[in-house]
């Protein structure tokens, strides 16, 4: 793996270059409400690279919360239908965290599993992910407990590491990464033999064993009706915040929005924590209460994902913990189950 | 008990008798009236109905004064009056303010004050009834006025307009009667206790005023009264001093002494008759009182 | 529609949606007709049994569907065919107006009136006045812009709304 | 909170309630969590600190019947009890169905404020209090079955002034266009997660209007049109009902100032409908199901 | 996909002159769901309606839009026509392109554009219209009349005359009300008893009329056509059926009591009929004054009673009756006079009120019709009548005019003059209100023939002087104060609502005004109806009225009742609210906001009958279809048929630009 060096003004130059090339740059940026989200950046000064992690995941770049899939127009007795083919620009995800980068791989599995969702894959194809290793973690970070690392490389094309004296050490991970560096060779300079990088963050390592968790979940006899679900999740109000901030949650809903004699079919984020997510037309709801819905979310991360996509469903970003209004802490469940499953 | 007292123009002059006896009685009943400093005319002559700011400025100033004095000197939180007209004007001022905050604001801005319309205005009679109690008065009576037939005359100012002044039921009042009973005299009920003495037309049409006064005296006489007791300097003046003029039209009319209720009160409470001044009485009540064996 | 479009449109006519009750205002409008009083043609009447049936959502949706102004009209207090319908709606409107104003809606575009079945003249005056004012104000681009924005979200096809 | 725990145990012991809805220490610094105590040992986990921000009354609504397993006791701050009053007023709850363990409270922490242990014991500084606490006049609950914590003198306040209401007045003061842009900037961020409605104890409908597609009053997409409609509809539905527990504002991941909308409505109701304030009694009919013949109609011609 | 037919009417040239009807018809062809369009000269003409039926049948239309005049004009016409063709009448909508287009927009282009919009709008709506069936309700062919005065009796007689059963509930011990107390009635001076008594008897003999005296309506439920009333018959202590009305008990009863019927003047007994012609002529024991009920001794009446019908242990009896319609005729009270100290009522015996004068003037009254003043029985030489005592007096009384006082004061001056020829009557009045057939003439007669002295002004004071009453007042015409030495003063006191009228209104669920008079449904067009279907008003319980008006209104109410009860079943427009029970969360905003109390709470039970949840339920018999509940419902769980949210939405959406 090649190492390169980004000088202090490297990012500045890079963004200028990308702007020139009319490439979309998405990075951590403080919005009007003062929170950091991943949004279009036009200058390195906008970047908030010291923030532990953005409020939402950057998945929005590939899987927008709201997008039109087709439009229709009534014309007399006929209907004109036209599929949506949005213009998709070259995109660079700059300064996202390794966990988010890894999550993109998991997401890809979902959107290419049976039907290939070109709206997603196109965007992903045209994107280069330049992630930034974490130098600090907060109480909610737990990537190391689920097999990822603050400087993990999975999903990134290039991984940046902060150099004490300024600038970044760039690990070119994929050939796309290599290519990207070559395109911008003036910015990606040759790295010195030894660069003194800032210490990598060390999130608390929790007593969690995801394999044990999975095997417990596999044993439905034991796990399905276990009182644990209610003990933990009865307090859940079903706000769904966790699903919206989660980098691997991927559920969406398709609805028509009429406007006069025309309209569009839109694809909007949905979440398994909403009470109407599984409501049948009959009025019956197989997941009647919040604990069952939360059991589903949990199983999705630690059983369904591995089973179906041989991928981890949780990258330990901790967003769901930060955003939860009732302190429903997924790591609490994981540690407890790890115990139970002993 | 010390109560801020507002004399108004007449009490220190024409109606001194009323005031002196009141002060004596107060003393005897164990409370005192503290005359408030630099008071001004209540404005009786500037009718409130004209609704001019000036009409209210006067009384408001008095009301404020009383409150301040009361607070400064740690007196009762009320204002006592003896003159029915002052009582009427002051009460109606408060009423107007409580009805119409805007009015209060204008006056306050005019006087650069922040009066709330809450000075509690009471008449001497009310103090006797509510603070002292007629029973207590009865106990304190040293000389019962037995055999004296007294017609209690309220006049209009104490009773009307009822909702604004509201001392008592304008058609069946009892407070005055209550006091007189406690003094041991025989109270005569008569139809004109609340009628007007005519003072409003005293200047413009003396004849008519005299007629009004006469009808009052006549009714009292018909009901068998020896004497009419009044609370109001104006009434006293009209009923009393105009009797000569009345005689012209009603030859058969018998003179009737018009006496202040405080004069009777102080008598009963043992004030030496010699010390009671009857300056304001043109019809001297003394002969009658002698006849009744009260002197 | 965006402002530019309006400018190069030679004639723009305002779109005014009127929510009226069946018994009083609708009757008033009928009377205006039978007595051949002419007035501006930009108003479209939606008839409801009572102003009490008018849901705040109706007004919102009208703006969402491109209305430039809205008129709500019913029976004078005490005349309500259902006794108290208009009293209740009056309260609802009091709150809803305040909310719209607070959230930045242009209140010059929402009008309320009591028009009895006899007040044909008032109906005519009110409608003319509303369309007059609306013409002065021009199209409600400020709100319609959020219809515009939506198209931006959707990338291409903007022109097809 | 010794007494709270012992009273709780007592209630469980003599089976006068099946569950106590309260607070327990959270898993992260500065966090507490809603906690359901079914057993006496559970009761030992019950706490009350300035970090107990949640309005637990949401668990009294029907959708949580499944976890009640019998009669319920709830740990409630003065502000939470206002919600209980509205729930009673709106037939969602009978007073006898719940045992109120009232806690006197000098204020809870503002969102994102994390206290050091030291601060927890000391008086909470104003600048760290949730904004709803600035204008709170129910520090000692109005209605309760048992009261805990040394009685805090409820502040005498001039209703609808100070705290959030100053901010409300700021917005009121803006020009129309200003207001519009102000709100559009905020609504633009709405991600339609509906956390605001999910956490609101007064959004107890079985089927929310947002879940109805025929007709589609509220568009599902998170674009300004849909977002505006949703936030307005929500504020309107809470008008005359919202008790300012501030939960919606607290949980909004997009940081939309929902308190502003709700409290504007509260203020309007106070001003327009004879000083009506939701949650202060259970008898009086709420403004929208009652009227006065002489209600103001200055805006109607 | 629906099959809509659109018919555009020319209305002669009324529409076609300023709307391009052909274009409208043509363009609507393209609307989704439209299978047929046509423009036609006169849709409402019988050929037009014929065509409508044909096309419905031929093109299997499932909905129809008629673009023509206002629905207020012809909606019924077309709905009936469509129904005749087998289409549900609620699948027909009208687009108002005449009153709202052709007649008001002279510019043909504009008018046409608008017509297109309006027609399209109604097409969108009608496609979502549901087939609705008229609501059919049974009718109980029996009426209840509350109050046995002239109003109640008249209403009952008229209803009974049509062969319909009717129940009169009177809270007093006899029929007759106030009218039977009156001496002679204006403007004809015929004796009240002579015209009232026969009616009372007629009512008591009529087989279709059941009379409960000494009884009150305690509760009412149900709705138009199907009410159930709970009536409490208070214990009379006399077995009504057995009593012969011989009157011996009253004669022998040792306990004298004041006679309320004589306004407290003449005496009566503890067991008595208020007056000889009482109907039913059955005495009642007044348990508060009867010696036996006080001391446990006496029972003289029991001993002397031939048929042995005294029953001291008699209990109140509850009767439940099912009725289809109700007439409320509870009459009026007169204003208490204690607040008018200036007139000295209660203080001076010879200051009396109008009703007392009526008794004094009545041949059967406490003076056998002779003019004797109460204090000393002297014949009053001078009588002063004061009008508007409490009426038209915001500050002390009521702001309304009691309407009858001008007339009865005039009448009373006449009665007085006819009995005391040398006497003098003075009347203080504010205005003379003598609107009515022969009323003005009547007043003039009082003034000119019976030389009553009318003084326009108020009385400030009445006081006693010797055996005279001094009346001081103002003559505002001459601008002078007047003083009259009178022997008797008669006060024309204001008419007020019955004491407890508000309670009754709440029991019946009808509305009442700030004076507790019952409110009519519409001041001009529905003066006898209340807002509660099936309940009607007669007489002074609605507002002050004189006898002729009362009788007229009573007959009007009766005809309303008969109109209602003549139907086998009641059909009502099905435009009513309906609840989606699955979604209702029972916050009951709808219940609280409904002006008709049409919404109640209902328990949903599981198989074992345990209530699992509570929901709102609409009573279609009571619901009037205003839609308040629909707008109030946060989750749109209660909706108004015919104006459901999706229908309104479709209309708005169709207008999108």
List, for residues E174-211, the tens digit of each pLDDT value: 999 999 999 999 999 989 989 999 999 999 999 999 99
Mean pLDDT in order along chain D per 10 residues (301 residues): 84 93 91 93 92 94 88 94 95 94 91 76 81 91 87 82 93 95 93 92 92 88 90 95 94 94 96 93 90 91 90
The pair of structure tokens assigned to B206 is 């003396």
Taking the alpha carbons at both ends of chain A, their separation in whole angstroms is: 40
First to last CA, chain D: 59
Mean pLDDT of chain A: 92
Residue B96 near residue B21, CB atoms below 8 Å: no
pLDDT value, residue B49: 62
**Contacts by residues E214-220 (CB-CB < 8 Å, ≥ 24 positions apart):** E214/E170, E214/E171, E214/E172, E214/E173, E214/E284, E215/E169, E215/E170, E215/E171, E215/E319, E216/E169, E216/E171, E217/E144, E217/E146, E217/E169, E217/E504, E217/E507, E217/E508, E218/E318, E218/E507, E219/E507, E220/E326, E220/E507, E220/E508, E220/E509
Higher pLDDT, A53 or D114: A53
Share of chain C above pLDDT 90, in %: 68
For chain E, percent of residues with pLDDT exceeding 90: 84
Q: In the prediction, which pLDDT does C2 show? A: 39
How far is residue E15's CA from residue E69's CA, in Å, rounded to a whole number?
9
Q: One digit per residue, pLDDT tens: chain B, 295 residues?
A: 899 999 988 888 888 899 999 999 999 999 999 999 889 888 775 556 666 777 888 899 999 999 988 888 888 899 999 999 899 999 999 998 998 888 899 899 988 899 999 999 999 999 999 999 999 999 999 999 999 999 999 998 899 888 888 888 888 899 999 999 999 999 999 989 988 888 878 778 888 889 899 999 999 999 999 999 999 888 999 999 889 889 988 988 889 999 999 999 999 999 888 888 888 888 999 999 999 888 7
Give the mean model confidence (pLDDT) for residues A155-168: 93
pLDDT digits (tens, 9 = 90+) for C117-136: 889 999 999 999 999 999 99
Q: Minimal CA–CA distance to D187: which of A33, C54, E470?
A: A33
Please list every residue in chain E whose beta carbon sits closer than 8 Å to the beta carbon of residue C48. 627, 643, 648
E contact test, residue of A76, A259, A281, A283 with most E CBs within 10 A? A76
E230: tokens are 């709970």
Cis amide prior to D283 (ω within 30 degrees): no
| CB-count burial class (<10 Å; 0-12, 13-18, 19+) for D239 | buried
Closest residue by Cα to residue E345 from B151, B171, B152 = B171
Instruction: Please give the structure tokens belonging to residue A184.
Output: 């911008």
Nearest CA in chain A to D63: A289
pLDDT tens digit string along E93-117? 999 999 999 999 999 999 999 999 9
Distance of CA A265 to the CA centre of its chain: 25
Chain D residues 151-170 within an 8 A CB cutoff of chain E: none
Rounded Cα–Cα distance for residues D260 and D282 (Å): 25
E332-334 vs E495-497, strand pairing mode:
antiparallel
Look at residue C149 in the predicted model and tell me its pLDDT: 62
| A223-245 mean pLDDT | 93
The verdict on E1 touching A (C-beta cutoff 8 Å) is no
pLDDT of A182 higher than 50: yes
The string of pLDDT tens digits covering residues E609-641 is 898 899 999 988 888 899 999 999 999 999 999
Diameter of chain C measured on Cα atoms:
54
Q: How far is A122 from chain C (nearest CA, A)?
A: 15
Q: Is E657 in contact with A76 (Cβ distance < 8 A)?
A: no
Rounded Cα gap, residues E383 and E489, in angstroms: 6
Instruction: Check CB contact of E589 with chain D, cutoff 8 Å.
Output: yes
Average pLDDT over residues A136-140: 93
Residue-wise pLDDT tens digits, E570-581: 888 899 999 999
- Could you tell me what percentage of chain A is helix, strand and coil, using 3-state DSSP and rounding each to the nearest 5? 35, 25, 45
Q: Are E636 and E630 in contact (CB under 8 A)?
A: yes
DSSP E380-409: PSEEEEEEEESTT-TTTS-SS--SSHHHHH
ipTM for the predicted complex comes to 0.73
Mean pLDDT for A230-245 is 93
Percent helix, strand and coil across chain D, each to the nearest 5? 40, 10, 50
Confidence band, pLDDT 50/70/90 cuts, at residue C150: low
Q: How far apart (Å, rounded) are the C-alpha atoms in residues A142 and E314?
A: 87
Beta bridge partners of E94: E66
Question: Do residues B123 and B81 make contact, with C-beta atoms less than 8 angstroms apart?
Answer: yes
Chain D residues near residue C92 by CB distance under 8 angstroms = 288
Chains B and A touch (3+ CB pairs under 8 A): no
Q: Are D247 and A288 within 8 A, CB to CB? A: no
The kind and range of the H/E element at A66 are strand A66-75
Nearest to E341 among B170, B219, B222 (CB): B170
Residue with tokens 């130098």: A135
Pairing of strands D19-25, C110-114: unpaired
Chain B hits for E350, Cβ within 8 Å:
none
Phi–psi pair at E149, nearest 5 degrees: -85, -165
Evaluate if residue E254 carries a pLDDT over 60. yes
- Beta-carbon contacts of residue D227 (< 8 Å; ≥ 6 apart): D187, D188, D190, D192
Cβ proximity of B37 and B67 under 8 Å? no
Distance from CA of D220 to the nearest CA of E (A): 16
* Nearest residue, CB atoms, C157 vs list A84, A259, A260: A84
Between CA E149 and CA D215 the distance in angstroms is 56
Distance CA B8, CA B39 (A): 8
> Measuring CA to CA, how many Å separate D196 from each of A241, B275, E472, E596?
10, 87, 75, 35
D264, C94: Cβ pair inside 8 Å? no
> For testing the chain C interface, which of A60, A64, A66, A68 should be mutated: the one with the most C CBs within 10 Å?
A68
**Closest residue of chain D to A238, computed from CA coordinates:** D198
For D27, the closest of A240, A257, A329 (CB atoms) is A329
Read off the pLDDT of residues E396-419 as tens digits, 9 standing for 90 and up.
Answer: 899 999 999 999 999 999 999 999
Taking alpha carbons only, the member of B233, B229, B290 closest to residue B265 is: B229
Considering Cα of D68, then D70, then D73, then D78, what sign does the dihedral take?
Answer: positive
> Which residue carries 């503002």 as its tokens?
D110
Comparing C-alpha atoms, which of D185, C153, D183, D248 is closest to residue A268? C153
Q: How far is CA C51 from CA B258, C55, E464, E527, in A?
A: 71, 9, 61, 24
Residues 6+ apart with CB under 8 A from D173: none
In chain C, residues with a C-beta closer than 8 Å to the C-beta of E17 are none
What's the whole-number mean pLDDT along residues A228-233? 93
Evaluate the omega torsion of the peptide bond into residue A59 and state whether it is cis, within 30 degrees of 0: no
Closest CA relative to residue B195, chosen from B176, B178, B220: B220
Backbone φ, ψ for residue E495 (5° rounding) = -85, 130
- 10 Å CB burial of residue A32 (0-12, 13-18, 19+) is exposed
């Amino acid at each position: 793996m090649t190492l390169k060096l980004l000088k202090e003004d490297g990012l500045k130059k890079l963004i200028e270059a990308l702007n020139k090339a009319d490439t979309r740059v998405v990075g951590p940026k403080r919005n009007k409400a003062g929170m950091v989200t991943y949004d279009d950046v036009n200058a390195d000064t906008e970047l908030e690279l010291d923030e532990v992690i953005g409020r939402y995941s950057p998945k929005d770049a590939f899987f927008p919360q709201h997008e039109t899939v087709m439009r229709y127009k009534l014309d007399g007795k006929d209907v004109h239908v036209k599929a949506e083919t949005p213009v998709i620009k070259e995109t660079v995800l700059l300064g996202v965290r390794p966990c988010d980068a890894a999550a993109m791989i998991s997401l890809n599995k979902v959107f290419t599993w049976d039907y290939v969702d070109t709206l997603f894959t196109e965007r992903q194809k045209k994107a280069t992910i330049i992630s930034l290793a974490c130098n600090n973690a907060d109480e909610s970070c737990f990537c190391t407990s689920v097999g990822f690392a603050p400087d993990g490389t999975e999903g990134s094309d290039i991984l940046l590491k902060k150099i004490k004296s300024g600038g970044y050490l760039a690990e070119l991970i994929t050939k796309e990464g290599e290519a990207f560096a070559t395109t911008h060779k003036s910015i990606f300079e040759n790295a010195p033999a030894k660069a003194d990088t800032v210490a990598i963050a060390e999130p608390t390592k929790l007593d969690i064993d995801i394999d044990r968790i999975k095997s417990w979940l596999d044993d439905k006899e034991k796990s399905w009706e276990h009182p644990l679900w209610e003990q933990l999740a009865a307090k859940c109000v079903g706000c769904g915040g966790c699903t919206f901030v989660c980098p691997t949650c991927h559920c969406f809903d398709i609805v028509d929005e009429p406007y006069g004699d025309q309209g569009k079919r839109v694809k909007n984020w949905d979440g398994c924590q909403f009470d109407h997510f599984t409501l049948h037309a009959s009025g019956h709801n197989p997941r009647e209460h919040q604990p069952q819905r939360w059991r589903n979310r949990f199983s999705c991360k630690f059983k369904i994902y591995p089973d179906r996509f041989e991928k981890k469903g949780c990258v330990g970003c901790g967003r769901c913990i930060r955003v939860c209004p009732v302190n429903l802490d997924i790591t609490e469940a994981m540690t407890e189950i790890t115990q139970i499953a002993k | 008990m010390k109560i801020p007292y507002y004399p108004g123009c007449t009490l220190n002059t024409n109606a001194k008798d009323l005031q002196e006896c009141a002060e004596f009685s107060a003393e005897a009943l164990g409370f005192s009236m503290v005359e408030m400093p630099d008071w001004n005319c209540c404005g009786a002559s500037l009718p409130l109905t004209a609704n001019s700011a000036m009409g209210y400025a006067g009384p408001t100033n008095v009301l404020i004064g009383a409150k301040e004095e009361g607070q400064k000197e740690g007196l009762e939180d009320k204002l006592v009056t003896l003159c029915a007209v002052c009582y009427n004007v002051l009460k109606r001022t408060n009423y107007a303010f409580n009805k119409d905050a805007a009015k209060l604001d204008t006056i306050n801005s005019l006087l650069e004050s922040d009066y709330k319309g809450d000075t509690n205005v009471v008449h001497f009679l009310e103090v006797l009834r509510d603070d002292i109690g007629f029973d207590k008065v009865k106990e304190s009576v040293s000389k019962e006025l037995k055999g004296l037939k007294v017609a209690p005359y309220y006049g209009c100012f104490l009773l009307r307009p009822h909702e604004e002044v509201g001392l008592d039921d304008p058609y069946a009042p009892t407070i005055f009667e209550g006091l007189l009973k406690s003094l041991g005299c025989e109270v005569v009920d008569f139809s004109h206790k609340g009628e007007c003495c005519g003072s409003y037309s005293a200047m413009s049409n003396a004849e008519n005023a005299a007629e009004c006064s006469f009808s009052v005296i006549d009714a009292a006489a018909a009901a068998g009264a020896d004497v009419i007791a009044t609370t109001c300097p104006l009434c006293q003046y009209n009923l009393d001093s105009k009797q000569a003029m009345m005689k012209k039209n009603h030859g058969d009319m018998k003179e009737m002494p018009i006496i202040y209720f405080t004069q009777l009160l102080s008598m009963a409470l043992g004030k030496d008759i010699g010390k009671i001044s009857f300056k304001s009485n043109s019809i001297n009540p003394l002969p009658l009182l002698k006849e009744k064996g009260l002197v | 529609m965006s402002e530019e479009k309006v400018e190069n449109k030679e004639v723009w006519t305002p779109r005014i949606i009127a929510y009226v009750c069946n018994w009083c205002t609708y009757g008033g409008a009928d009377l205006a007709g039978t007595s051949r009083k002419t007035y501006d043609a930009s108003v479209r009447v939606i008839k409801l049994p009572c102003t009490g049936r008018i849901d705040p959502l109706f007004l919102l949706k009208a703006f969402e569907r491109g209305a430039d102004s809205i008129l709500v009209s019913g029976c004078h207090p005490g005349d309500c065919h259902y006794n108290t319908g208009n009293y209740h709606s009056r309260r609802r409107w009091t709150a809803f107006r305040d909310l719209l104003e607070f959230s930045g809606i242009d209140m010059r575009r929402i009008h309320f009136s009591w028009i009895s079945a006899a007040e044909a003249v008032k109906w005519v005056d009110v409608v003319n006045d509303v369309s007059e004012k609306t013409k002065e104000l021009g199209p409600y681009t400020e709100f319609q812009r959020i219809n515009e924005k939506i198209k931006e979200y959707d990338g291409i096809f903007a022109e097809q709304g | 909170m010794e007494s709270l725990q012992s009273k709780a145990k007592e209630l469980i012991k003599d089976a006068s309630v099946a569950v106590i809805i309260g607070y327990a220490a959270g898993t992260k610094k500065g966090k507490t969590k809603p906690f359901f105590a079914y057993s006496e040992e559970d009761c030992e986990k019950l706490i009350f600190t300035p970090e107990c921000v949640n309005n637990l009354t949401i668990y009294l609504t029907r959708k949580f019947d499944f976890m009640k397993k019998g009669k319920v006791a709830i740990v409630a701050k003065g502000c939470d009890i206002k919600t209980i009053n509205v729930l009673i007023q709106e037939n969602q709850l009978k007073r006898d169905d719940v045992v109120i363990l009232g806690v006197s409270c000098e204020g809870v922490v503002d969102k994102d404020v994390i206290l050091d242990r030291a601060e927890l014991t000391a008086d909470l500084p104003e600048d760290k209090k949730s904004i709803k606490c600035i204008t709170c006049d129910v520090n000692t609950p109005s209605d309760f079955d048992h009261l805990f914590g040394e009685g805090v003198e409820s502040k005498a306040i001039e209703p609808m002034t100070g705290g959030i209401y100053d901010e409300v007045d700021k917005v009121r003061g803006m020009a129309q266009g200003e207001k519009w842009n102000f709100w559009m900037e905020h609504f633009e961020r709405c991600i339609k997660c509906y956390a605001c409605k999910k956490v609101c104890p007064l959004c107890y409908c079985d089927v929310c209007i947002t879940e109805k597609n025929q007709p589609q009053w509220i568009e599902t997409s998170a674009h300004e049109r849909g977002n505006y409609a949703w936030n307005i509809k929500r504020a309107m539905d809470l008008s005359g009902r919202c008790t300012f527990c501030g939960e919606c504002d607290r949980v909004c991941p997009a940081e939309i100032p929902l308190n502003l909308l709700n409290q504007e409505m509260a203020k309007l109701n106070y001003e327009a409908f004879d000083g009506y304030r939701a949650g202060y009694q259970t008898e009086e009919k709420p403004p929208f199901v009652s009227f006065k013949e002489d209600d103001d109609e200055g805006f109607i011609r | 996909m629906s099959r809509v037919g659109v018919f555009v009417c020319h209305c002669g040239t009324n529409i076609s002159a300023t709307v391009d009807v052909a274009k409208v018809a043509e363009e609507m062809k393209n609307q989704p769901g439209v299978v047929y369009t046509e423009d036609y000269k006169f849709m409402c003409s019988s050929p037009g309606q014929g065509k409508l039926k044909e096309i419905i049948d031929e093109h299997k239309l499932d909905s129809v839009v008629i673009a023509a005049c206002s629905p207020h004009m012809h909606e019924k016409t077309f709905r009936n026509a469509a129904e005749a063709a087998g289409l549900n009448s609620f699948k027909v909508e009208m687009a108002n392109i005449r009153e709202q287009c052709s007649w008001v927009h002279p510019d043909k282009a504009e008018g046409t554009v608008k017509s297109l919009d309006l027609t399209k709008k109604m097409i969108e709506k009608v496609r979502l219209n549901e087939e609705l069936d008229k609501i059919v309700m049974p009718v109980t062919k029996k009426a209840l009349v509350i109050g046995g005065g002239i109003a109640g009796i008249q209403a009952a007689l008229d209803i009974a005359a049509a062969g319909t059963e009717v129940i009169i509930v009177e809270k007093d011990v006899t029929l007759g009300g106030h009218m039977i107390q009156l001496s002679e009635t204006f403007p004809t001076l015929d004796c009240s008893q002579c015209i009232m008594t026969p009616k009372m008897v007629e009512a008591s003999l009529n087989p279709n009329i059941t009379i409960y005296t000494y009884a009150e309506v305690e509760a009412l439920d149900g709705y138009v056509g199907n009410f159930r009333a709970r009536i409490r018959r208070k214990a009379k202590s006399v077995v009504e059926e057995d009593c012969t009305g011989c009157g011996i008990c009253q004669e022998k009863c040792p306990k004298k009591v004041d006679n309320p019927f004589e306004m407290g003047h003449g005496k009566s007994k503890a067991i008595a009929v208020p007056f000889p012609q009482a109907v039913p002529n059955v005495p009642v024991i007044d348990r508060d004054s009867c010696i036996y009920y006080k001391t446990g001794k006496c029972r003289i009446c029991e001993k002397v009673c031939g048929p042995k019908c005294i029953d001291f242990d008699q209990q109140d009896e509850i009767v439940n009756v099912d009725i289809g319609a109700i007439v409320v005729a509870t009459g009026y009270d007169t204003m208490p006079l204690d607040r008018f100290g200036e007139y000295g009522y209660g203080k001076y015996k010879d200051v009396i009120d109008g009703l007392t004068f009526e008794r004094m003037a009545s041949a059967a009254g406490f003076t056998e019709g002779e003019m004797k003043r109460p204090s000393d029985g002297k014949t009053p030489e001078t009588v002063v009548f004061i009008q508007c005592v409490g009426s038209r007096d915001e500050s002390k009384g009521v702001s309304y005019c009691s309407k009858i006082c001008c007339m009865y004061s005039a009448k009373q001056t006449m009665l007085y003059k006819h009995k005391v020829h040398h006497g003098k009557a003075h009347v203080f009045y504010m205005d003379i209100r003598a609107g009515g057939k022969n009323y003005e003439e009547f007043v003039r007669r009082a003034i000119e023939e019976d030389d009553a002295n009318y003084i326009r002004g108020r009385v400030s004071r009445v006081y006693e002087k010797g055996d005279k009453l001094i009346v001081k007042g103002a003559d505002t015409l001459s601008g002078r104060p007047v003083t009259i030495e009178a022997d008797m003063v008669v006060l024309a006191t204001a008419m007020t609502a019955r004491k407890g009228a508000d309670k009754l209104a709440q029991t019946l669920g009808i509305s009442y005004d700030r004076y507790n008079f019952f409110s009519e449904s519409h001041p001009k067009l529905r003066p006898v109806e209340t807002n509660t279907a099936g309940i009607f008003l007669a007489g002074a319980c609605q507002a002050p009225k004189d006898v002729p008006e009362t009788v007229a209104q009573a007959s009007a109410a009766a005809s309303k009742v008969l109109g209602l009860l003549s139907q086998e079943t009641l059909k009502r427009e099905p435009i009513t609210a309906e609840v989606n029970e699955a979604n209702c969360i029972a916050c009951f905003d709808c219940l609280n906001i409904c002006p008709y109390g049409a919404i109640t709470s209902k328990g949903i039970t599981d198989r074992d009958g345990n209530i699992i949840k509570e929901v709102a339920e609409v009573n279609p018999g009571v619901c009037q279809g205003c839609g308040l509940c629909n707008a109030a419902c946060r989750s749109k769980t209660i909706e108004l048929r015919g104006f459901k949210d999706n229908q309104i939405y479709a209309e708005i959406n169709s207008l999108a630009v």
